Amino acid sequence: MSVLDLRTVNPLVKVLGPIPVMIYVVTTRDVLTPALVGLLAFALLALLGHQRPRVLAAVALGTVALVAVMTVSFGLLTDPATVDDTTPLARVGPLEVWSGALATGLATAVRTAALLLLVLLGGLTTSGADLVRAMTQQLRLPYRVGYAALAALRFVPRFSHELEVVRGAHRVRGVTAGRGPVGAVQRQAGYVVPLLAGGIRHAERFSLAMEARGFGAHPTRTERVVVPFGARDLVLLAVLWAGAAACVLLAASV
Amino acid sequence: MSSLTTRYLMTCAAIGAAVGVLLVPANFVSAPLALAAPLVFAPMAGLWVTGPVLALALVRRPGAAVLTSFVAGVISSASPVGATSILTCVMVGVAVEVAFLVTAYRVWRPWLFYVDALASGVAYLATWWLWTDMSSWAPGVMVAFGAMMLGSFVLCTGVGLMLAKRLARAGVARGLASASDREVSEALPR
């Protein structure tokens, strides 16, 4: 992996870094600013993200489709009374489409696309477990909390096994909730409490086993996976913020 | 730190894992719905509060809602938005817990859960207001959207409380709740 690989950048930079930019984007109302910020995020993802071409194509096409769909769907929600000085474009039953409404919808759509691309910048290159590790190693989150979350990842296969057991137990005891789709929903709902109860009881046994092995006995612990935070991460953060500021200034000057 | 026992941590982790598994498909369904048909998304917005409410009502300890939603976020990060789901989930957890923090974790009555549900619903609506430029929406649509979203928060809080009640009746996590110890001992036959 090269030095300029987004996948090796500290997760805190990738996930928390874009947040100030996102907050600014939410407050914009024009089309150009979020469009430029979105292009910047996509460029960073394409150049440094080391994503497969198919993923990048899906992101690009998905964003375009999203903008198209949202322009219409949020345009329809716009109050026709506020835009009746613009041109009416179409009329389907009770729905009226005005060009002003579509312009408002387009602004919302581009804003959302920019937010989505900023989220994907970290999302496609970071796993949840890595962010948890960075939180314990850099943000001083108590390691007991972080490891509880990492251990919970192992509960998921356990739950699917437990679901089979609960299903079998209900079937053996002839627990019926009627037929058809309503019965199916009732049957599924009947699994919730036993599944949760089984999961919590498993977690209690699990915690005893962890304590028996000395979990939490010391204020600090060694890490098997180290997530470093270095100068490179600060450079990327600076590039992101400077780029976003440049987009804002460029949009303002036009 | 002494209140952060391993049993408490892992109980919240188990609830969070169960909720997180449900949130993975919910993420995939809700994101396109929220964008293409916001009025269809509004009734399912409350889904995210069920887990934290359930944990807080069952465990009755400070931090239970935040911890549960944190774990749910880690589990549900198996989607294109990845680790960002942790942030969104933790924000929901904080919203659920704020009312209990304000009352110094002395009140555990259901009404406080519903008050909190309404408050978090309003806060969430405010972010939508800002993001989607809601002031330009048709008034009828705006009212319907707000009512459905608040309704879904209240309904899902009710579901969380009901599940917590049923689990407590099954004897799960007994003795973990610091606030209910006296109530439990008073309810038991001598």
Q: Round to whole Å and give the CA distance between A151 and B70.
A: 13
pLDDT bracket for residue A185 (50, 70, 90)? confident
Q: Round to whole Å and give the CA distance between B67 and A146.
A: 10
Percent of chain A scoring above 90 in pLDDT: 37
| CA-wise closest residue to A126 among A252, A5, A3 | A5
- Cβ atoms of B107 and B128 within 8 Å: the answer is no
Question: From residue A118, how far is each of A29, A234, A240 by CA, in Å?
Answer: 18, 17, 10
Give the β-pairing of A88-92 and A95-98.
antiparallel
Residue B85 falls inside a structural domain: yes
Percent of chain A scoring above 70 in pLDDT: 92
- Compute the CA torsion angle B24, B27, B32, B34 (nearest 10 deg): 150
Largest Cα–Cα separation, chain A: 73
Test mutation, B1, B19, B133, chain A, max A CBs within 10 A: B133
> pLDDT at position B184, please?
46
Q: In terms of pTM, does the model score above 0.95?
A: no
- Tell me the chain A residues in contact with residue B86 when contact means C-beta distances shorter than 8 Å: 15, 128, 131-132
pLDDT bracket for residue A182 (50, 70, 90)? confident
pLDDT bracket for residue B188 (50, 70, 90)? very low
Question: How many CA atoms within 13 Å lie on the side-chain side of B180?
Answer: 18
Using the beta-carbon criterion (under 8 Å), do A129 and B70 form an inter-chain contact?
A: no
- Tell me the chain B residues in contact with residue A125 when contact means C-beta distances shorter than 8 Å: 82
> pLDDT at position A94, please?
62
Residue range A96-117: mean pLDDT, rounded? 84
The pLDDT mean for chain B works out to: 85
> pLDDT at position A180, please?
82
B138: which 2 tokens? 């048709």
Q: What is the pLDDT of residues B42-89, one digit of tens each?
A: 888 888 999 999 999 999 999 999 999 999 999 988 777 778 888 889
> pLDDT at position B182, please?
52
Burial class of residue B13 in the structure, from the number of CB atoms within 10 Å of its CB (0-12 exposed, 13-18 middle, 19+ buried)? buried
Give, rounded to a whole angstrom, the gap between the first and last alpha carbons of chain B: 34
Query: Which residue did the predictor score with more confidence, B115 or B134?
Result: B115
pLDDT bracket for residue A84 (50, 70, 90)? low
Residue A193 pLDDT greater than 70, yes or no: yes
Q: Round to whole Å and give the CA distance between B139 and A143.
A: 49
Question: How many A-B residue pairs are in contact by the CB < 8 A criterion?
Answer: 184
Question: How many CA atoms within 13 Å lie on the side-chain side of A154?
Answer: 8
- Tell me the chain B residues in contact with residue A122 when contact means C-beta distances shorter than 8 Å: 82-84
Residue B190 pLDDT greater than 70, yes or no: no
Residue B178 falls inside a structural domain: yes
Q: At CA A117, angle to CA B148 and CA A3, rounded to 5?
A: 145
Distance from CA of A28 to the nearest CA of B (A): 9
> pLDDT at position B187, please?
45
> pLDDT at position A108, please?
86
> pLDDT at position A221, please?
87
Q: Round to whole Å and give the CA distance between B52 and B93.
A: 6
- Return the bridge partners of A63, or none: none
Residue B1 falls inside a structural domain: no
- Cβ atoms of B172 and B58 within 8 Å: the answer is yes
Write the CB contacts of A67 (distance below 8 Å, at least 6 apart in sequence): A106, A109, A110, A113
Residue range A115-142: mean pLDDT, rounded? 89
- Cβ atoms of A191 and B22 within 8 Å: the answer is no
| CA-wise closest residue to A44 among A252, A238, A249 | A238
CA nearest B17 in A: which residue? A152
Test mutation, B1, B2, B6, chain A, max A CBs within 10 A: B6
Residue B57 falls inside a structural domain: yes
Q: What is the pLDDT of residues A130-148, one digit of tens each?
A: 899 999 999 989 999 999 9
Domain coverage including residue B176: 6-187
- Cβ atoms of B81 and B65 within 8 Å: the answer is no
pLDDT bracket for residue B1 (50, 70, 90)? very low
A142: which 2 tokens? 């108590």
Q: What is the pLDDT of residues B151-179, one digit of tens each?
A: 999 999 999 999 999 999 988 888 777 65
Residue range A183-205: mean pLDDT, rounded? 90
Structurally, chain B folds into a number of domains equal to 1
Q: Round to whole Å and give the CA distance between B7 and B1.
A: 13
ipTM of the shown complex: 0.86
Question: How many CA atoms within 13 Å lie on the side-chain side of A217?
Answer: 7
CA nearest A190 in B: which residue? B163
The domain locations on chain A are 6-126+228-253, 134-212
Distance from CA of A210 to the nearest CA of B (A): 8
Please report the sign of the dihedral spanned by the C-alpha atoms of residue A185, residue A187, residue A188, residue A190: positive
No. of helices (H) and no. of strands (E), chain A: 10, 2
Residue type, A201: R
> pLDDT at position B189, please?
45
> pLDDT at position A176, please?
75
**Segment among A97-106, A234-243, B145-154 with least mean pLDDT:** A97-106
> pLDDT at position A121, please?
87
pLDDT bracket for residue A96 (50, 70, 90)? low
Q: What is the pLDDT of residues A6-39, one digit of tens each?
A: 888 899 999 889 999 998 988 888 889 999 999 9
A138: which 2 tokens? 């850099």
For A192, the closest of B39, B141, B163 (CB atoms) is: B163
| CA-wise closest residue to A60 among A126, A22, A116, A123 | A116
**Segment among A82-86, A248-252, B15-19 with least mean pLDDT:** A82-86
Return the number of other C-beta atoms located less than 10 Å from residue B50's C-beta: 24
